[in-house]
C-alpha cells in the first residue's frame, strides 16, 4: 500500500515499482480512483495499491474514509495490507512526518521511502537516514524515484518487512487524551451490536474529528449515547488543556520536532535558491500575472494550431477507412451501418485524440514543474467570487479546447462540492467542436461590417460574444449551484506551493498516454453505442421502392446518356452533376422518411418559436454524439451529400444553400440573422457531446450528474435560443 | 491581537494559537501551523488575496480570511 503527501513523487514511484503492470478502477460509491499494480522482486510478485495523496488520515468525507478503511483492512474489495510504504519528501520532512506519525500508529509493517534526496541536497539539507530510522522504528530507504535510484533497495526493504511483527510506537498524545480514548473504547465495546470492534485508531478519530462524519457513521451502527459521551470527553479534555482538535496537531508536531532534531543537518544556509527567485517573479502581482497570461495564451493557441495537422490526418484516415469499406461491401444496411454509423460516429470522437494528448501533455508539464499551483494561487481571488477556488481555473480553461480533458483535470480539486460544480459548468466553455457551427453561420449571415477603422469586425465580435456567453452563463450557473444543490461555504484554500523542478519526460509521457487511452476506451464505448442508435434512427425505415420510384426514370435516362460514347465533355459534366443531384435528393428523401426525419418533423412545432424548421431540428437531434456532425447532417438534408466541413468548397455550397432555403409551406426564407443567432446560442449552451457526458459519468461515478447536466444545459439552450430569436425578430423585423 | 493576515512581507512571527475548530482550522493545524512554529510572510497574489507563507521549510498559500484565524506573537516584541 502506497501512501504519502501530494507532490512527493508518489506517482513516479508507483510507476517505477509497477512499470506497465497497472490498472485503474474506481471504489464503488465514491469518486476515489483505485490504482492497482504488480511489482516483482526476486521471483516474488507483490500487488501494490496506490492511495490518493493526502496530508492527513482524518476521514471527513466518504472519499477520505476509503483510504482509512483500506489501510485498516476494513474493505471487502481490497485485502488488508501486508506492508505500508509511506513516501516522504526529504526536502520537506517536517510536514511529511505528520502523516507518518498517523500511519505508524496503525501498527502495520511500514517502510519509509525517503524521496527527493537530490532536491534536499541542493537545498543544503542532509538527512541522517540511520538515525531517522531508529527514531521512527521503521526502515528508511533514501530514493530519487524520478531517476530510479534506490528503487531496488526499496523493493528489498518491502519484501523484508512482510510478515514482521511491529510494535505500535509510543503514542504522541498526552496522558489525559489516552485515558479518554481508553474509556471510550471500553464503552463502545460494551455496546457492540454488530460484532467487529472498532479499531483503536478510529476510536481516537471519533474523539478528534469534530466535524462529525465518523460519528454519524458509528451512530448508524447503534452506539446509543455516543454523542453525549464524546461531548463530555471533549469538555474534560479542554479543561485539562488538551482541547480537541488542536491536541492532535500539537502532539504530533511535537513528536516530529523530536524526531527531526539531530536527524537533519543543514550544510548550507537556506539562502535563496533558483526556485525561490523564480517564485518571487512568478507570484509577483505584475510579472506573475503577465507570465500567467502569456502562458495561458500559449497553451490555448498551441492546442488549436498544433492539433490541426494530426486531426486532419485522423480525419482523412477515417474517411479512407470508410471509403475502403464502402468499396468492399455491397450496398445495403450493413455497409451503411459500418460506414455512416460506426466509422463516422466513432471517427468523430477519435478525432479529439490529438487535442486531448496535447492538452494533457501541457497540463502534465505544468503540474510536474510546479507551475499549476501558482496559477491556482493567482486566480483564486476571482474564482472565490463565484464560490469556487483557484484550483478550478485550469480545468475550466482547458475546457475551452475540449471539455473532456478539462473535466478529467478536475481531479486536483479535493473538495467534492467544488469539484462537482466545476465539472457541471465546464461544458459551458465553448469548446473547439462548436467552432465549425459558428464559422459557417457567421460567414453566411453576419454582414462583414467593421467599426473603429476596421479593427473591430462584426463577425469577430459575434464569435467573441458566443464565447463570452458561455463564460457568463457558467458563472451564473456556478453561483446558483452553490446556493442551491451544492450548498456549502467557499472551501478552504490552504494549498502547498511545491518547489519548482524540471518536469520528468517519462512522467509526462506516461500521464499523457494514460489519459489518452482512458479517453479512447471509455468515451469510445459509449459513443460507439450511441452512433449505432443514431444511425439506425436515420436509416430506418427504408422503403426503397416508394422513395426511389419518382426518380427511377430520370436516373435511368441520365445513366444511359452517360454510357453513350459520343457525348461532349461539357455535356458529360452536366449530366454527372445532374445525376449527383438526383442521388442527393434521393438521400434526402430517405432522411425525411426515417425515424430521425419523422422525429424532426414532429418536434417542428416545438422548434418553430426558435425560428427553426424541421431540418434544423433533425440536425440538432442527430448531432448528439458530436456537435460538428450537425453541419454534415444539414448538408445531407439540403441535398449536398456529405459536407466535409474542413473543405472550403463544401462550406461555400452549404452557405449558399442555407441562404436559399425556404420553409416548406410558406416559401419564406428560413434563415436570417435572428435564426442564425438562435442556432449559435443553442449550440453554445447545449450539452451535445456524448463524450463529455460519458466523462462526467466516469468522474462522478453516477448517472445522475450527466443526466442533470444534459437536462439543465439543453433547457438553458432552448430558452436562450428562444429569447434570441424572438427578441431578434422584434429588433430586426 | 495580531494575526497572520497582518504580517507584512518579509517579516517572521511565531504562531500563538489557531482559533476555531472547524475544517479550515484543522487544515491549518495539519499543515503545520501549530503554536510555537515560525512563519514568514513571502507575498500576496495580485488582488491582495491569497497570501503566501513559508512554514516548516515549505511554502503555503492561505486566503486572508483563513489566515486571520491564526494569532501570532511577534518575536521582536517582548510579550
In chain A, what are the domain boundaries?
2-161, 175-241, 521-732
pLDDT of A664 over the 60 cut: no
Q: What is the pLDDT of residue A321?
A: 80
Instruction: Tell me the nearest-neighbour CA distance from B7 into chain A, angstroms.
Output: 17
Q: Which pLDDT band holds residue A593 (cuts at 50, 70, 90)?
A: confident
pLDDT of A100 over the 80 cut: yes
Domains observed in chain B = 4-73 (2.30.30.90)
What is the spatial distance between Cα A619 and Cα A686, in angstroms, rounded to a whole number?
14
pLDDT of A641 over the 50 cut: no
A265 touches chain B (CB under 8 A): no
Instruction: Tell me the nearest-neighbour CA distance from B58 into chain A, angstroms.
Output: 6
For chain B, positions 23-52, list CB contacts with chain A under 8 A.
Answer: 23-32, 34-35, 37, 42-50, 52
Cβ of A280 and B66 within 8 Å? no
Q: pLDDT tens across A379-434, in order?
A: 888 787 777 777 888 788 778 767 877 887 787 777 778 888 888 888 888 776 67
For residues A455 and A493, which has the higher predicted lDDT (pLDDT)? A493
Q: Going by C-beta distance under 8 Å and a sequence separation of 6 or more, which residues neighbour residue A589?
A: A547
For residues A211 and A723, which has the higher predicted lDDT (pLDDT)? A723
B64 touches chain A (CB under 8 A): no
- When pLDDT is averaged across residues A613-618 and rounded to a whole number, the result is 76
Q: Going by C-beta distance under 8 Å and a sequence separation of 6 or more, which residues neighbour residue A87?
A: A2, A3, A4, A5, A8, A9, A10, A13, A112, A113, A115, A145
pLDDT of A241 over the 50 cut: yes
Q: pTM for this one?
A: 0.72
- When pLDDT is averaged across residues A608-631 and rounded to a whole number, the result is 73
| A-chain residue closest to B67, CA distance | A494
Q: What is the pLDDT of residue A58?
A: 81
Q: pLDDT tens across A257-301, in order?
A: 888 887 777 665 555 566 667 777 776 767 777 777 777 767 666
Angle between helices A690-700 and A416-425 (to 10 degrees): 180
B5 touches chain A (CB under 8 A): no
For residues A217 and A489, which has the higher predicted lDDT (pLDDT)? A217
Q: What is the pLDDT of residue A26?
A: 67
Residue of A58, A210, A380 with shortest CB distance to B45: A380
Q: What is the pLDDT of residue B78?
A: 45
pLDDT of B76 over the 70 cut: no
Q: Which residues of A touch B57 (CB under 8 A)?
A: 91-95, 270
What is the spatial distance between Cα A366 and Cα A177, in angstroms, rounded to a whole number?
44
Beta-bridge partner residues of A450: A457
pLDDT of A223 over the 70 cut: no
For A275, the grid coordinates are 526556485
Instruction: Tell me the nearest-neighbour CA distance from B63 into chain A, angstroms.
Output: 6
For A588, phi then psi, to 5°, come to: -70, -35
Instruction: Tell me the nearest-neighbour CA distance from A468 into chain B, angstroms.
Output: 23
- When pLDDT is averaged across residues A321-327 and rounded to a whole number, the result is 78
Domain spanning A2-161 has what CATH number?
3.40.50.300
Cβ of A497 and B29 within 8 Å? no
Q: What is the pLDDT of residue A656?
A: 62
| A-chain residue closest to B31, CA distance | A95
Which site among B30, B31, B37, B54 would you substitute to test the A interface, given the most A Cβ atoms closer than 10 Å to its Cβ? B30
Q: Which residues of A touch B24 (CB under 8 A)?
A: 492, 494
Q: What is the pLDDT of residue A197?
A: 67
Q: Which residues of A touch B18 (CB under 8 A)?
A: 246
Q: What is the pLDDT of residue A698?
A: 78
Angle between helices A629-637 and A435-445 (to 10 degrees): 50
Name, of A192-201, A241-250, A325-334, the range with top average pLDDT: A241-250
Q: Which pLDDT band holds residue A304 (cuts at 50, 70, 90)?
A: low
| A-chain residue closest to B22, CA distance | A211
Burial of B71 (0-12, 13-18, 19+ CB in 10 A): middle
Instruction: Tell me the nearest-neighbour CA distance from A354 into chain B, angstroms.
Output: 34
Question: What ipTM was estimated for this complex?
Answer: 0.88
Q: Which residues of B touch A286 (CB under 8 A)?
A: 46
A378 touches chain B (CB under 8 A): yes
Q: Is residue A494 a contact partner of residue B31, using CB atoms and an 8 Å limit?
A: yes
- When pLDDT is averaged across residues A325-333 and rounded to a whole number, the result is 76
Q: What is the pLDDT of residue A310?
A: 75
A414 touches chain B (CB under 8 A): no
A286 touches chain B (CB under 8 A): yes
Q: Which pLDDT band holds residue B19 (cuts at 50, 70, 90)?
A: confident
Q: Which residues of A touch B61 (CB under 8 A)?
A: 373, 377, 380, 493-497
pLDDT of A29 over the 70 cut: no
Instruction: Tell me the nearest-neighbour CA distance from A285 into chain B, angstroms.
Output: 4
A213 touches chain B (CB under 8 A): no
Pairing of β B38-44 and β B51-55? antiparallel
For A113, the grid coordinates are 521511502
User: What is the three-class DSSP state of B38?
Assistant: strand
- When pLDDT is averaged across residues A551-556 and rounded to a whole number, the result is 79
Cβ of A390 and B21 within 8 Å? no
Cβ of B61 and A496 within 8 Å? yes
A418 touches chain B (CB under 8 A): no
pLDDT of B58 over the 70 cut: yes
Q: Which pLDDT band holds residue A623 (cuts at 50, 70, 90)?
A: confident
For chain A, positions 94-133, list CB contacts with chain B under 8 A.
Answer: 94-95, 98
Residue of A93, A98, A381 with shortest CB distance to B47: A381
For chains A and B, CB pairs below 8 A equal 123
Name, of A11-25, A481-495, A525-539, the range with top average pLDDT: A11-25
- When pLDDT is averaged across residues A499-521 and rounded to a whole number, the result is 76
Q: Which pLDDT band holds residue A643 (cuts at 50, 70, 90)?
A: very low
What is the spatial distance between Cα A581 and Cα A33, in angstroms, rounded to a whole number?
54
Beta-bridge partner residues of B15: B72
Cβ of B32 and A377 within 8 Å? no
Mean pLDDT rounded to a whole number for chain A: 76
Cβ of B57 and A93 within 8 Å? yes
For residues A528 and B4, which has the higher predicted lDDT (pLDDT)? B4
Among A26-30, A545-549, A570-574, A675-679, the minimum mean pLDDT is found in A26-30
Q: Which residues of B touch A378 (CB under 8 A)?
A: 45-46
Among A115-129, A183-197, A561-575, A648-662, the minimum mean pLDDT is found in A648-662
Pairing of β A125-127 and β A33-41? unpaired
Which site among B32, B36, B56 would you substitute to test the A interface, given the most A Cβ atoms closer than 10 Å to its Cβ? B56
Q: Which pLDDT band holds residue A452 (cuts at 50, 70, 90)?
A: low
Q: Which pLDDT band holds residue A648 (cuts at 50, 70, 90)?
A: very low
What is the spatial distance between Cα A250 and Cα A267, in angstroms, rounded to a whole number?
28
A667: number of Cβ within 10 Å: 7
Q: pLDDT tens across A339-388, in order?
A: 766 776 666 667 667 766 777 787 778 777 778 778 788 888 878 777 77
Amino acid at each position: 500500500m502506497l501512501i504519502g503527501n501530494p507532490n512527493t513523487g508518489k506517482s513516479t514511484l508507483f510507476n517505477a515499482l509497477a512499470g506497465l503492470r497497472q490498472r485503474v478502477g474506481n471504489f464503488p460509491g465514491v469518486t476515489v480512483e483505485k490504482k492497482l499494480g504488480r511489482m516483482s522482486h526476486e521471483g516474488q510478485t507483490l500487488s501494490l495499491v496506490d492511495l490518493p495523496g493526502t496530508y492527513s488520515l482524518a476521514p471527513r468525507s466518504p472519499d477520505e474514509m476509503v483510504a482509512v478503511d483500506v489501510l485498516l483492512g476494513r474493505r471487502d474489495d481490497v485485502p488488508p495490507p501486508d506492508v505500508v510504504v509511506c513516501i516522504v519528501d526529504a526536502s520537506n520532512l517536517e510536514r511529511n512526518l505528520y502523516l507518518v506519525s498517523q500511519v505508524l500508529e496503525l501498527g502495520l509493517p511500514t517502510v519509509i521511502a525517503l524521496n527527493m534526496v537530490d532536491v534536499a541536497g541542493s537545498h543544503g539539507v542532509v538527512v541522517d537516514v540511520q538515525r531517522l530510522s531508529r527514531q521512527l522504528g521503521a526502515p528508511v530507504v533514501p530514493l530519487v524515484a524520478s531517476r530510479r535510484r534506490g528503487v531496488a533497495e526499496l523493493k528489498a526493504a518491502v519484501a523484508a518487512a512482510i510478515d514482521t511483527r511491529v510494535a505500535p510506537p509510543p503514542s504522541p498524545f498526552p496522558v489525559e487524551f489516552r485515558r479518554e480514548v481508553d474509556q471510550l473504547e471500553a464503552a463502545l465495546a460494551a455496546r457492540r451490536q454488530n460484532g467487529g470492534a472498532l479499531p483503536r485508531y478510529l476510536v481516537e478519530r471519533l474523539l478528534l474529528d469534530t466535524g462529525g462524519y465518523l460519528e454519524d457513521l458509528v451512530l448508524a451502527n447503534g452506539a446509543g449515547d455516543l454523542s453525549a459521551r464524546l461531548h463530555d470527553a471533549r469538555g474534560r479534555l479542554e479543561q485539562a488543556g488538551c482541547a480537541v482538535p488542536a491536541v492532535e496537531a500539537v502532539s504530533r508536531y511535537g513528536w516530529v520536532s523530536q524526531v527531526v532534531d539531530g536527524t537533519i543537518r543543514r550544510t548550507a544556509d537556506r539562502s535563496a535558491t533558483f526556485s525561490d527567485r523564480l517564485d518571487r517573479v512568478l507570484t509577483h502581482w505584475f510579472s506573475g500575472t503577465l507570465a500567467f497570461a502569456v502562458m495561458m495564451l500559449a497553451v490555448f493557441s498551441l492546442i488549436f494550431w498544433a492539433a490541426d495537422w494530426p486531426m486532419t490526418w485522423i480525419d482523412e484516415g477515417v474517411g479512407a477507412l470508410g471509403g475502403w469499406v464502402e468499396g468492399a461491401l455491397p450496398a445495403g444496411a450493413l455497409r451503411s451501418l459500418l460506414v455512416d454509423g460506426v466509422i463516422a460516429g466513432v471517427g468523430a470522437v477519435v478525432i479529439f485524440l490529438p487535442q486531448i494528448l496535447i492538452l494533457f501533455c501541457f497540463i502534465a508539464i505544468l503540474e510536474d514543474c510546479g507551475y499549476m499551483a501558482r496559477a491556482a494561487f493567482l486566480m483564486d481571488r476571482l474564482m472565490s467570487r463565484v464560490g469556487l477556488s483557484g484550483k478550478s481555473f485550469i480545468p475550466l480553461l482547458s475546457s475551452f479546447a475540449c471539455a473532456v480533458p478539462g473535466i478529467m483535470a478536475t481531479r486536483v480539486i479535493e473538495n467534492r462540492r467544488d469539484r462537482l460544480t466545476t465539472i457541471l459548468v465546464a461544458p459551458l466553455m465553448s469548446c473547439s467542436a462548436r467552432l465549425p457551427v459558428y464559422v459557417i453561420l457567421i460567414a453566411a449571415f453576419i454582414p462583414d461590417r467593421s467599426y473603429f477603422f476596421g479593427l473591430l469586425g462584426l463577425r469577430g465580435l459575434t464569435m467573441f460574444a458566443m464565447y463570452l456567453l458561455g463564460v457568463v452563463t457558467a458563472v451564473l450557473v456556478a453561483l446558483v449551484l452553490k446556493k442551491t444543490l451544492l450548498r456549502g461555504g467557499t472551501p478552504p484554500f490552504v494549498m502547498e506551493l511545491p518547489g519548482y523542478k524540471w518536469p520528468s519526460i517519462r512522467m509526462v509521457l506516461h500521464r499523457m498516454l494514460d489519459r489518452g487511452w482512458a479517453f479512447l476506451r471509455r468515451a469510445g464505448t459509449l459513443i460507439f453505442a450511441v452512433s449505432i442508435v443514431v444511425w439506425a434512427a436515420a436509416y430506418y425505415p427504408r422503403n426503397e421502392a416508394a422513395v426511389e420510384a419518382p426518380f427511377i426514370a430520370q436516373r435511368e435516362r441520365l445513366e444511359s446518356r452517360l454510357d453513350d460514347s459520343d457525348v461532349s465533355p461539357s455535356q458529360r459534366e452536366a449530366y454527372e452533376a445532374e445525376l449527383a443531384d438526383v442521388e442527393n435528393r434521393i438521400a434526402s428523401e430517405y432522411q425525411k422518411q426515417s425515424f430521425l426525419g419523422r422525429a424532426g418533423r414532429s418536434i417542428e412545432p416545438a422548434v418553430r418559436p426558435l425560428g427553426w424548421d424541421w431540418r434544423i431540428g433533425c440536425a440538432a437531434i442527430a448531432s448528439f454524439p458530436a456537435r460538428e456532425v450537425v453541419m454534415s447532417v444539414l448538408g445531407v438534408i439540403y441535398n449536398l451529400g456529405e459536407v466535409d466541413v474542413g473543405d472550403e468548397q463544401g462550406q461555400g455550397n452549404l452557405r449558399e444553400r442555407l441562404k436559399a432555403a425556404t420553409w416548406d409551406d410558406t416559401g419564406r426564407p428560413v434563415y436570417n440573422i435572428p435564426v442564425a443567432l438562435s442556432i449559435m446560442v443553442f449550440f453554445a449552451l447545449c450539452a451535445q457531446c456524448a463524450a463529455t457526458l460519458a466523462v462526467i459519468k466516469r468522474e462522478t461515478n453516477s448517472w445522475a450528474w450527466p443526466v442533470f447536466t444534459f437536462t439543465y444545459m439543453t433547457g438553458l439552450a432552448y430558452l436562450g435560443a428562444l429569447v434570441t430569436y424572438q427578441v431578434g425578430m422584434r429588433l430586426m423585423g | 491581537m495580531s494575526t497572520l493576515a497582518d504580517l507584512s512581507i518579509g517579516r517572521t512571527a511565531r504562531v500563538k494559537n489557531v482559533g476555531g475548530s472547524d475544517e479550515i482550522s484543522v487544515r491549518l493545524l495539519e499543515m503545520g501551523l501549530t503554536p510555537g512554529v515560525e512563519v514568514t510572510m513571502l507575498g500576496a497574489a495580485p488582488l491582495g488575496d491569497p497570501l503566501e507563507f513559508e512554514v516548516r521549510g515549505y511554502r503555503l498559500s492561505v486566503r486572508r480570511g483563513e489566515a486571520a484565524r491564526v494569532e501570532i506573537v511577534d518575536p521582536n516584541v517582548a510579550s
